[in-house]
Amino acid sequence: MAGAAHPEAMAPPKKGATRTAPPRMPGSWWGAPRIRTYLLFGATGIIYLLAGTVVLRLVWALGNGPDAWDYALGSLSHPLYLIFHALTFVSLIFVGVRAFGTMMPKMQPRNGPFPPLPAAAVRGLIYSVWALLTLLLSLVLSGKIF
């Protein structure tokens, strides 16, 4: 493991006319309009990590035989798991709306053979495709089709 860096290691070769102040967080940081949304968007990663461990647990149980699989599936009906799945669903909707509704219209190519679509049209197309895929996957998983 390396030792601590010298305090002047990143200093400019010649002192400037004014000293720089040490970095400080602004007093209004928690009150900034979008900071809670940014923090919530980042915190959803923890939920996805936990959801991934649930999936790994199910895969592990699947490899241990039918009894372990039945026990693992039965444990998913516990109220804490139901709350966790509801939280996972809400965080998925939040991230999807934020990513597709806010960022996607801004990421359209500006220089191309076609003019960029209006942001409302992009959102409408994305939400329509999202709704159709959700319906299709729901029908497949329920056994109605395929």
Asked if the structure places residue 42 within a domain, the reply is yes
Q: How far is CA 25 from CA 21, 28, 32, in A?
A: 12, 8, 12
Backbone angles phi, psi at 139, to 5 degrees: -65, -40
**In a domain? residue 3:** no
In this structure, what token pair is assigned to residue 16?
A: 């400037």
The pLDDT assigned to 2 comes to 60
Sequential pLDDT tens for the chain (146 residues): 566 767 777 777 777 777 677 777 667 777 777 888 888 899 999 999 999 999 999 999 999 999 999 999 999 999 999 999 999 989 988 888 888 777 776 777 777 788 888 878 888 888 898 889 989 999 998 889 87
Domain range enclosing 55: 34-83
Residue 126: count of CB within 10 angstroms of its CB: 17
Token pair for residue 55? 């999936």
Q: Can you give the pLDDT at residue 139?
A: 92
Burial class (CB in 10 A: 0-12, 13-18, 19+), 101: middle
Q: How far apart are CA 142 and CA 146, in angstroms?
A: 10
In the chain, how many domains are there?
Answer: 1
Is residue 10 domain-resident?
no
In a domain, 89, yes or no: no
